[in-house]
Amino acid sequence: MELPKRKRIVNPAAIKAARKKFCQNCGAYNEEGWHVHHIKTKGSGGDDVAENLVTLCPACHTKVHSGELSIENIITKDLPGVEELVQIFANYKEQEEASKWEQAAALVILYTGLKMNIKSISSEVGLSPAMIREMIRTFTAFPDESTRVLELSFYHHRLASKTPDPVYWINLAADNGWSTRQMSDEIKKSGCITEKAKRDSSMSKAEKALRMVNEILEEESEASDWLYGELQKFFMEEIAKVS
């Protein structure tokens, strides 16, 4: 006696639910969703059930059918959705911003509490002297959380700390919804930059120039020979001016 052939489960809703916006093999994204492939083919009785369905982009789908890509090697783990990824990014961004204030607080203690000089701090923490000065100045300008604007970045606060009235400028940036570029432009136009901030900026440029000079001289190349000769000429001319 011949047993009746099992009828394949046909469920269009399952296929629709299985259609993802990313290829489960290569991860390629498509807002409209990619093709849904039956792991066990429909011809061999493959059902329209989640366990038998995988989303593939056209290229990967073609490779599966041609035998170039084995279905067993396809990554079927679901990737997070756009909203979840955006939230993950936002959470890490918040943590990053919070950590900058904590790092700045630690630098202030090293500098003012333990009386370490900027160069020593730099060698210990791996930040450039210019960045250390910036972070110390920023924390000093906004030592209390109540003076900070949480929705604005640490960099916004860094820009505000260059002015004689940091709290005024950070609130102005918040009220106007300025980006850091817009805020920087407004501060420059107003001319409201403290002498200390100007000195810090000049020192930063000098330190950067020195690092570049050292890097080139260490290369022992045609460029380093030329730079060495130009520096010698410059200092000889300066000595001649003095004498």
Distance CA 55, CA 18 (A): 7
Given a contact cutoff of 8 angstroms between Cβ atoms, the answer to whether 101 and 154 are in contact is yes
pTM of structure:
0.56
8-state DSSP, 39: S
Q: Answer whether 138's CB lies under 8 Å from 130's CB.
A: no
Q: Could you report the average pLDDT of every consecutive run of 10 residues in the chain (243 residues)? A: 68 88 83 86 85 89 86 61 70 84 94 93 92 95 93 95 95 95 94 85 83 86 88 84 74
The ranges of the chain annotated as CATH 1.10.10.2830 are 84-215
- Report residue 54: phi and psi, to 5°: -145, 140
Tell me what pLDDT residue 214 has.
87
The residues facing 36 across adjacent strands are 55
Does domain 84-215 fall under CATH 1.10.10.2830? My reply is: yes
**pLDDT for residue 115:** 93
